[in-house]
Structure 1
Amino acid sequence: MKPWDICYQLAHLCLDEFFAQGDMEKERGIPVQMLNDREKVNRPNSQVGFIEFVICPMAESICNIFPQLDSLAQHLGTNVQNWVQLWIDEASPPEEQAAKVQERVRRVVLRLKVVTREERGIPQD
């Protein structure tokens, strides 16, 4: 929910930590957790799913309780759109698959827009 440049950096740091854990799991012969395998995880696509299923619901709740924090929802909407574009640019998915993910992102962005003060008719100070 931070501006894009910060979001991008923090996401990479977090995934680097997950991957380091996955590397240690491989070294020890332990099953590698789903998000910890650097050879299987596409960074941008993982962020789209994380935002959709974890961060978006949290942002909706935060903005419903604290409307003045709606800039967080606005940043998140921008970020998820940036992640999906990076995924498309990097992975070159089939058109049908890209369209499905873009539709999921469109719904996330709409959910986030609904909780903004402007959409809710709440005056901004």
Structure 2
Amino acid sequence: MLMTACDLGAVTKPWEISRQAAELVTSEFFEQGDRERSELKLTPSAIFDRNRKDELPRLQLEWIDSICMPLYQSLVKVNVKLKPMLDSVAVNRGKWEELHQKTLLSQTTPCSSSSSFSVSLEDIH
């Protein structure tokens, strides 16, 4: 569990660092998805599909809710001194939720310009 917590540790960092790590990982995922599409003629899953980049906030929320929160909640049960890490995950989750809500709003507002992932992230800074 501790090794996994270390591996996923970017989610516990301040928002700017966590966001940058998510962008780097997403860039790698998109490259893999591009290769899957071009070389293997497969449709990549959402997190690897550059064409679905606007879904990233929702996908980050799913990842945090299903993997990160349970992991860090369990670690806090083992040692309460680790609670600041869990608190940081919750703060970052809130930022992703805000991005997700902005994405939903932009999709339902007529005549709104389509927002890209990087533009949406800039709104949160």
For 2:107 and 2:24, the matched residues in 1 are separated by 29
Q: Once superposed, which parts of structure 1, at least 4 consecutive aligned residues long, lie more than 3 Å away?
A: none
Deviations 1:60-107 (A, max 9, x none): 111111211110111111111110101111332789xxxxxxxxxxxx
Match of 2:94 among 50, 59, 81: 81
**In structure 2, do the counterparts of structure 1 residues 94 and 30 end up closer, same or farther at CA, with 3 Å as the change threshold?**
closer
Structure 1 length normalisation: TM-score? 0.69
The TM-score with structure 2 as length reference comes to 0.69
**1:121 aligned residue:** none
Q: CA RMSD in A?
A: 1.8
Structure 1 residues 73 and 40, CA gap change in structure 2 (3 angstroms): same
Counting matched residue pairs gives 95
Q: Secondary structure at the match of 2:81?
A: helix
Question: Could you tell me which of 53, 58, 74 is aligned with 1:45?
Answer: 58
Question: Could you tell me which of 72, 75, 79 is aligned with 1:59?
Answer: 72
Q: Shift of the alpha carbon at 1:31? A: 3.7
- State the percentage of identical aligned residues: 26
Q: In the alignment, what sits opposite 2:48?
A: 36
Distance 1:24 1:5 in 2: 29
Any stretches of 5+ residues in structure 2 without a counterpart? 1-11, 109-125
**SS in structure 1 at match of 2:87:** helix
Task: Specify the alignment match of 1:14 in structure 2.
Answer: 25
For 1:23, give the aligned amino acid: D
